[in-house]
Amino acid sequence: MTTATEPLLVAREGAVAILTLNRADRMNAVDLATLAALRAAVDELWGDTEVRAVIVTGAGEKAFCAGADLKERAGMTPAQVRRFLKNIREVMGEIEHLPKPVIAAVNGLALGGGTELALACDIRIAADNASMGLTEATLAIIPGAGGTQRLPRLVGKGRAKELIFTGRRVDAAEALAIGLVEDVVPAAELLDRAKALALRIVENTGPVAIAQAKFAINRGMEVDLESGLAIEAKAYEVTIPTKDRTEALRAFGEKRKPVFTGE
């Protein structure tokens, strides 16, 4: 049972899980407690076969996530900072490779680790009042939770360098134009749009197929084309013996909607 004092709220709406960073008074900045809660939630989702899509968002109307909690960070020793960064890098990797689609509903400010959290998700939808940026260089550090690697893969090397070197923020319109987000909607419609997308995936696709497509895309992007095609072929092989594939063929012949079970 979640309470308003918990740093992360976990809700279920059918087959969709909604993770809400719950520190609106701190612009949903990530502290040690939030990181631990996020890691535990993602670990739980790995084994939850009933959840077939995940939405990540922030509490309140001002911020998705303002990055690391700098007030807490100021009291850390260098060794503690290194451990925090190790943990957050691992959590971002677990989100990126979660065998379910993860949608970031960016409901306002997303700076530093907030943008890195969005980058670790599969699809990003931004509210029209959102502002994003990897601002770490303005604090004499660099993005440490995957930003230097995921941003250039999404928007290109030159644009990523410009944004990281300057620490410049981009508004929702520019984020859409450069490919940092896939959609921009009015703030009041953001969560509904994210839920609609999640439900479209859940209601129309096979869970094993989605997991394997995500695996093939993520791994294939890191290798040459021939190796990527080999990864795709192996991922396709996983889907062939599934009950869902047989069900899809049967439903097609019977002119009805298939019922997928993830088997």
Phi-psi region of 169 (alpha: psi -120 to 50; beta: other; left: phi over 0): beta
The answer for residues whose C-beta is within 8 angstroms of residue 91's C-beta and 6 or more apart is 35, 38, 39, 42
SS3 10: strand
Residue of 116, 162, 182, 203 with catalytic role = 116
Contact 182, 124 (CB under 8 A): yes
Contact 235, 216 (CB under 8 A): yes
Task: Name which of 47, 49, 46, 39 is nearest 15 in CA terms.
Answer: 49
* Kind plus residue range of the DSSP H or E element containing 104: strand 102-106
116 catalytically annotated: yes
**128 burial level (CB within 10 Å; 0-12, 13-18, 19+):** middle
Please state the pTM of the whole predicted model. 0.93
Contact 100, 45 (CB under 8 A): yes
Distance CA(252)–CA(132), nearest Å, equals 43
Tell me the two tokens of residue 196. Answer: 């609609």
**23 burial level (CB within 10 Å; 0-12, 13-18, 19+):** buried
Segments of the chain scoring below 70 in pLDDT: 1-4
Q: Sign (positive/negative) of CA torsion 209, 212, 217, 223?
A: negative
247 catalytically annotated: no
Residue of 6, 50, 90, 136 with catalytic role = 136
**Per-residue pLDDT, 22:** 96
Tell me the two tokens of residue 118. Answer: 């969005």
Place of tokens 């699809």: 123
Distance CA(262)–CA(211), nearest Å, equals 10
Residue 82 CA neighbour count, 13 Å, CB half: 3
SS3 67: coil
For the chain, the distance separating the N- and C-terminal CA atoms, rounded to the nearest angstrom, is 30
